[in-house]
Amino acid sequence: MKPLTPAVLDRAAGYRLIGEIQDEQEQLAVLGRLDELAPGFPDWIVTALFGGTYQREGLTLRDRQVANLAALTAMGGVEPQLATHVRVSLRVGMAREEIVEVMTHLAPYVGVPKALAGLRVVAAVLADQDGER
């Protein structure tokens, strides 16, 4: 068997990227609490996802966020992660209207209840951001 192509797992790149897309308060709220519960797991997440999957060529960061919004909405029951990715989507340049349109576009594919749940998360994140202004 031909040797498999090694995966890129760049811990430093993962931490740089998460520093760009999440503010320190968000990182501490999610990763810090998780590390207290499951030591080492947040480092694995940052290394494998942000230092691995996100480092692959072929999709822009914006494209990855559209995929994340769609996947998390389709899964349902992961509202905290969806809220985080709505905030990240705004940070990487997606317009509010585009995020809403992703949720609307999903309705015939994932079902109206899941699309509505996604829209509720989007509305809450946008309201929080409006309150910060």
Mean pLDDT by 10 residues, the chain (133 residues): 92 95 87 93 96 96 97 97 96 97 98 98 96 74
Name the residue among 130, 128, 36 with its Cα closest to residue 84: 128
Q: For the beta carbon of residue 114, count every other beta carbon within 10 angstroms.
A: 19
What's residue 27's pLDDT?
Answer: 86
Question: Is residue 74 a contact partner of residue 85, using CB atoms and an 8 Å limit?
Answer: no
What's the pLDDT score for residue 133? 63
pTM exceeding the 0.75 threshold for the entire prediction? yes
pLDDT of residue 115: 98
